[in-house]
Amino acid sequence: MRLCRVFTVLILAGLIPAGICSAAAWQPHVNTANLRDTITVQIIHHAEPAIVSITAKKVITRQVNVFGSIFGVPTFGPYVRVPADFLGSGFIIQKNGYVVTNNHVVDQAKEISVTLSDGKKYAAHVVGSDPQADLAILKINSASGRSFPTLALGDSSTLMIGEPAIAVGNPFGFSQSVSSGIISAMGREIREPNNPVPLKNLIQTDAAINPGNSGGPLLNAYGQVIGINTAIRGNAQNIGFAIGVNRLYELIGTLMNPETTNGVLIPVTFAGERTFHSPATITEQVVLAGTHGPAVKSVDGIATPDLLDAYAALLQVTLRQKNVVVTFSNGTTRSYPVSVAPPTPAEIRELRVIQAVKRIMGCTIEQVTPTLGEKFNLGVKNGLLITQVNANSMAAKAGLKPGDVLVQLGPYRIRTLNDLGALLPRLPNQGQVRVMVVRNHRLGVGNLTMP
């Protein structure tokens, strides 16, 4: 459990000012009376309650073997959309139930569940994600309002080659599995499937990391999180990689942004000032971004000893409030107005495409998502769902109907609203343009007659 208080202690670097919290509240010790009670044993006992197993329900495309499981017959047959469970790991970083994992664990998931070490299972939802960094933050849906155990975030910039490392996770569904090793190298770069941007500055470790470990913590000898386990080298042994925890810390303001998460605009941004004191003490204070103080003491009366608590407090703000009150360590307060977040540039572009399609083709469209595709049994995971067709419109004359999924215009494949938006200006002024849709799991072809 991460204990973070405002207090004054003497350390090598001097006094910790009020308003700054220390991340070294718990530390293992050498037990000479019981040599079995090692540092690793103590760390796992301490960390286990905050480490979770994640199950993400997704819909995948799978080819059906019409000959069943006859030995020696190659698989062939139709492709179908079927549900599948993807397993991963994560760890709780804030007492309200905020969980860190890899983006690829929960990407396009229809349903997410989190299981704690005590066997209790909760539904969860994605608060924020960064596909390029392969990081995501989930929120456990707990009606009881319970306080969850957490892990302290360490510092990945001070790691030493050869220092101990402990990986905990859910490999192959074996929850709370522990492996230990050392930091093998720093600054590695790898490419993940479906991620156009390589992951850089990774930690390499020989602690065993297997499928299902993704999103779990890599811990140091003081039980602090130093990395998020993310990948293995499939054709090698004892080569695993983790995203440095400092990268996660840099993205907290983005991953827990109330504007993108809840649609609530609050004109305040926080930053964390962390200082490392060897061997494993980290002091932290929260300030307004772009300043060096005074420290933020509370948000709407909720104490904010660290950056995670500050953004967790912002995520509790609703549109029913008129303002948010921030209190500082020097006793001053500031009030910030609360309003509806404006649409993002991407949302504005998509809205313009929808309006253009309605004006030109006479139909209303909606982006297909895995959840939408499953809800209406569309048989596709992308494309544009036609929800309404105006009488005597270009779309109606082409034979398009509500429930069709637009997947091709002319020779061009359409997966997103952006795809269609790029094609609309190129439509000819006259003649016909072939349009292809999916209807009742079958492809259909029509012709749009340009006026």
- Name the active-site residue from 134, 206, 306, 404: 134
Alpha-carbon distance 394 to 451, whole Å?
8
CA 414 to chain centre: 26
Catalytic residue selected from 214, 329, 404, 419: 214
CA distance 429 to 449: 10
Q: Catalytic site residue 441?
A: no
DSSP structural state of residue 153: B
Query: In degrees to the nearest 10, what's the CA dihedral of 117, 120, 122, 126?
Result: 0
104 part of the active site: yes
Active site residue 29: no
Q: Which of 89, 104, 184, 329 is catalytic?
A: 104
DSSP 326-382: EEETTS-EEEEE-EEPPPPHHHHHHHHHHHHHHHHT-EEEEE--HHHHHHTT-S-SS
In contact, 436 and 408? CB cutoff 8 Å: yes
- Measured distance CA(128)–CA(90) in Å, rounded: 14
Phi/psi at 434 (5° precision): -70, 140
Amino acid present at 194:
N
Active site residues: 104, 134, 214
